[in-house]
Amino acid sequence: MFRSTPDITSANFCFFRFLHVLVCNAAVFALPWSLTKDHLETTFQVNHLGHFYLVQLLQDLLCRSAPARVVVVSSESHRFTDINDSSGKLDLSLLSPSKEEYWAMLAYNRSKLCNILFSNELHCRLSPHGVTSNAVHPGNMMYSSIHHNWWLYTLLFTLARPFTKSMVSDQLMLCLYIIHFNILGMKQQKS
Ligand SMILES: NC(=O)c1ccc[n+]([C@@H]2O[C@H](COP(=O)([O-])OP(=O)(O)OC[C@H]3O[C@@H](n4cnc5c(N)ncnc54)[C@H](OP(=O)(O)O)[C@@H]3O)[C@@H](O)[C@H]2O)c1
């Protein structure tokens, strides 16, 4: 993903003068342990570092495009983890654990916590330049392709399917959310 990110930015974004909305949505879930070519645990790199790197590369374009907005798709499950050690200090080894210390659900939760911390910090740094950032939770156990790495999650998502939001309503909500805040931004600019 790291290697493909500069390609994405140079190939797709050099044609655009403005970028008003960036949605950081890509994620993996319940992967068996693996390392990327950068020697980092895959869930951590795909779910958090990839977005972090992409935003760094697009930061100038976003600032030039103000009002602009970054939406980071996180999850409620960020609540069920921590990235601090027992003395309350950030423990970097928890973010990209070894095979022995890896648990897929925990890796996902930690990456989603990183999404929120990143979004909050990005907002602090870029909002003075007219670029806001928000982290969102799209809904619980929505039937998508995210569970396909493990049959157990596929079963759970299938059982929950009649009682949860559909992906269509989720994507509609996200579009309405973006439109709402863009209109708000335009109104604020005019006044
Ligand atoms: N579904 C839920 O219940 C739920 C709940 C809470 C939060 N979320 C969050 O919602 C977001 C969307 O998830 P979803 O449920 O819609 O799952 P999804 O259908 O599997 O979507 C995940 C997306 O990430 C992309 N992706 C995965 N690995 C990638 C990589 N290495 N490089 C580039 N793109 C990659 C996938 O692209 P390809 O299709 O090309 O593989 C896919 O478009 C995620 O951030 C997830 O954490 C989902």
Asked if pLDDT for residue 162 goes beyond 90, the answer is: no
What is residue 188's predicted lDDT score, i.e. its pLDDT? 61
Per-residue pLDDT band at 139 (split at 50, 70, 90): confident
Per-residue pLDDT band at 143 (split at 50, 70, 90): confident
177 vs 135: which has the higher pLDDT: 135
Asked if pLDDT for residue 181 goes beyond 90, the answer is: no
Domain boundaries along the sequence of the chain: 5-190
Contact 190, 183 (CB under 8 A): no
Average pLDDT over residues 28-32: 95
Q: Which two tokens stand for residue 124?
A: 């602090």
Tell me which residue has its CA closest to atom 40 in ligand 1: 26
- Domain 5-190, CATH: 3.40.50.720
**Which atom of ligand 1 is nearest the CA belonging to 115?**
45
Q: Which of 146, 159, 161 to mutate to test the pocket of ligand 1 (most atoms within 8 A of CB)?
A: 146
For the question of residue 108 being annotated catalytic, the response is yes
Most confident stretch, 94-103, 136-145, 182-191: 94-103
Per-residue pLDDT band at 19 (split at 50, 70, 90): very high
Nearest to 138 by CA among 25, 19, 35: 25
Q: How far apart are CA 190 and CA 40, in angstroms?
A: 46
Asked whether the whole model's pTM tops 0.85, one would answer: yes
* Mean pLDDT, the chain, whole residue set: 88
Which residues have any ligand 1 atom within 6 Å of their CB? Answer: 1, 25-28, 46, 73, 75, 138, 140-142, 144-146
What is residue 145's predicted lDDT score, i.e. its pLDDT? 86
Per-residue pLDDT band at 176 (split at 50, 70, 90): confident
**Which atom of ligand 1 is nearest the CA belonging to 46?**
31
Interval 46-66: pLDDT, tens: 999 999 999 999 999 999 999
Number of H helices, E strands in the chain: 6, 3
Q: Which of 4, 5, 7, 25 to mutate to test the pocket of ligand 1 (most atoms within 8 A of CB)?
A: 25
Asked if pLDDT for residue 102 goes beyond 90, the answer is: yes
Asked if pLDDT for residue 69 goes beyond 90, the answer is: yes
